[in-house]
Amino acid sequence: MERNENLQQDVGALNVRLGVNGGHDGMTIKPKKFKKKKQNEIDISKLADDVRSGQRTSLSKAITLIESSNTDHKEQAQKLLQELLPYTGNSIRIGITGVPGAGKSSFIETFGTMLCNMGKRVAVLAIDPSSTISGGSILGDKTRMEELSRNKSAFVRPSASAGTLGGVHKKSRETMLLCEAAGYDVILIETVGVGQSETYVRGMVDFFLLLVLTGAGDELQGMKKGIMELADGIVVHKSDGDNVQKARRTVREYMQILHFLQPATPGWMSRAIPASSHEKTGLMEVWEIICQFEQTIKSSNVWESRRLEQTKEWFHTMIRDTLIDSFFQNSNRKIEVKSIEEAILRGEITVTQGVSKLFS
């Protein structure tokens, strides 16, 4: 009897009693709605004011905006440039190039620091080569120019060349204008190095400086004349220690060569001098030559006419770049290019026939 009662109790305990009908267990769970975040609106007028007041963080932000490939950013960047354009053009623009190992970064840091100590505000646009494989760049110039980067009167901006010829970023011109609007009166543009289309750099600066070494070897003879015809000044760098006498001899050799070349700038005779960033010698002489150059060229009206010519060339370069971009933006055009490319590789048509077919 007791056993039956216990069994009934156990069964009763297992009975599931009906509860109140409901659609949930008391916890309300609503499906999340993901909203696309709107890009932060950039106050162009405020950014322009901040750039003009010399805020380095704002200048960096403005340059990032200029270099962006985003369509909205491009439009905003041009509005920013339009506001700042009246405050540009008051600096001296110096392009610095040289053979690999010539010590361009060391020279720029020592030279730039000297100018800052003289009361100048110096902006450095340092260009690093982009990898043709990954498209990446080391951007190590800020590390190599550590002292100058910390100077409150200096601004160092490393950028990747992104495949642009001439060892400069294709936005370097606009970046240069931003630096001028920010009050920097000396703009130093360090290029990747000789061997590329250095005429691109020549076409955006006032003074073009070439750094060379002693005993560079005969392998450079082929490029010497071309690059030297663009140079307003030549610095035989690393003129220190046991290399001093060699540097002086090299300077004499370059002066003889320059005597027979057509001047890079009308009315100016290019010069060569020895210098050492390690011992900080010859740097003041380099600056004095640049100042003499500015005074001489401004008095002959070549300065202004050159800048106007550079602006015109920039305009035509932008036309070519825009035509190329617009050509490949069409998705159907990309398919057509791919098809013709495959036909060329199969040997069905020549390259010239492929191009003619593409444009017909």
Phi-psi region of 122 (alpha: psi -120 to 50; beta: other; left: phi over 0): beta
pLDDT tens-digit profile of 28-85?
555 555 554 455 578 999 999 999 999 999 999 999 999 888 888 888 999 999 999 9
Would you state the pLDDT for residue 225? 63
**Which one-letter amino acid corresponds to residue 315?**
F
Structural contact between residues 250 and 224, judged by C-beta atoms closer than 8 angstroms: no
Would you state the pLDDT for residue 360? 81
pLDDT tens-digit profile of 204-234?
899 999 998 886 544 444 455 678 888 999 9
- Rounded to two decimals, the pTM is 0.79
Query: What span, in angstroms and rounded, lies between the C-alpha atoms of 111 and 276?
Result: 10
Q: Which two tokens stand for residue 186?
A: 């000396």
Specify the long-range contacts of residues 221-229, CB closer than 8 Å, at least 24 apart.
223/194, 223/195, 224/257, 225/261, 226/198, 227/97, 227/194, 227/198, 228/254, 228/257, 228/258, 228/261, 228/270, 229/261, 229/262, 229/264
The CA–CA distances, whole Å, from 279 to 117, 185, 205, 276, 284 equal 17, 26, 28, 5, 12
Q: What is the residue whose two structure tokens read 């642009």?
A: 164
Structural contact between residues 123 and 153, judged by C-beta atoms closer than 8 angstroms: no
- Those residues of the chain that have pLDDT short of 50 are 11-12, 36-37, 130-140, 162-168, 197, 217-222
Q: What is the residue whose two structure tokens read 């691109």?
A: 200
Structural contact between residues 116 and 153, judged by C-beta atoms closer than 8 angstroms: yes
DSSP at 129: P
